[in-house]
Structure 1
Amino acid sequence: MSQSLYNGLTASNTRRAGVASLEIDGEAVDVAGDLTYSPYSTKKEMLVGQSGVQGFSEMPVTGFISARIRDSGTLSVASFLTKTDSSIVAVLANGKTVYGNNMVCTESSEVATAEATFTVKFEGTDVTESST
């Protein structure tokens, strides 16, 4: 392996995972865990037939931002599935910011009251990531 992969790493720039914050339509929510995202706009699949590998197909997919969040008591859990045209901003431990514009809430699970958590998933065609 190349030594250059490891040059310049210091304590201030080696954090890759951990803390995260999330805003939904400008409102900060408590992230309990499992914040995930996908900026992909296409999915590729290999085409295999009886005579061998014949190429690949490419289909559009939506990007998403999903998280397990904690019900603070002031949230309206029922309102999540009515959210359309939402703006989502996630700031990750590694300094990356993930933006979702014109997002639709496609999933909102039941609340687990022992931990006051539930999962939400927003999907859309405009999910981007930027590094600081």
Structure 2
Amino acid sequence: MAGIAGIAYVKVSGRQYPLKGNFTVGTTMIERTGIAGQDGFHGFSEMPRVPYIQGDISLAPDVSVEVLAAMTNETVTAELRNGKTYVLREAFTAGTRELNTSEGQVQVRWEGASIDEF
């Protein structure tokens, strides 16, 4: 039986970061929402979504929170245990970076223009 969860890697423009956990990959480019009227289902709407890769990075001595915060126009690669690889293009760090000192980590979210599955 093949493994489907567990080990994962994240790289930004070729540099691997120490991924601690809570790793998620948002691949949906379109969000659909049902529309109901008083007489039943009328259809759905579609809105674009920004793809993302997000996870907790260990605060190793060679990890700079300032460098993470300044990232723009990067290529972020997520390699998963199930053999899938996701490539996020024209990525930037989104949101804020809050250090969790008891866990020795910082959560980072990269958002980008497109994401491809390989």
What band does the TM-score fall into relative to the shorter chain?
A: over 0.9
How far apart, CA to CA, are the structure 2 residues paired with 1:56 and 1:38?
21
1:125 aligned onto 2:113: yes
Following TM superposition, the consecutive aligned residue runs of length 4 or more in structure 1 with deviations greater than 3 angstroms are none
User: Which is richer in helix?
Assistant: 1
| TM-score, normalising length: structure 2 | 0.93
> In the TM superposition, what whole-angstrom CA distance separates every residue of 1:53-90 from its partner, at most 9, and x where no partner exists?
11100011111100111011222102322211011011
How far apart, CA to CA, are the structure 1 residues paired with 2:113 and 2:73?
11
| TM-score, normalising length: structure 1 | 0.83
Match of 1:29 among 17, 21, 45: 17
How many pairs align?
118
Superposed displacement of residue 16, structure 1: 0.3
Q: Which runs of 5+ in 1 are unaligned?
A: 1-9
Q: Which residue of 1 aligns with 2:36?
A: 48
How far apart, CA to CA, are the structure 2 residues paired with 1:34 and 1:65?
11
1:75 aligned onto 2:63: yes
Superposed displacement of residue 29, structure 1: 0.5
Q: Which runs of 5+ in 2 are unaligned?
A: none
Match of 1:88 among 76, 88, 97: 76
Partner AA of 2:111 in structure 1: E
CA RMSD of aligned residues (A): 1.2
Q: Which has the larger radius of gyration?
A: 1
How far apart, CA to CA, are the structure 2 residues paired with 1:107 and 1:66?
11
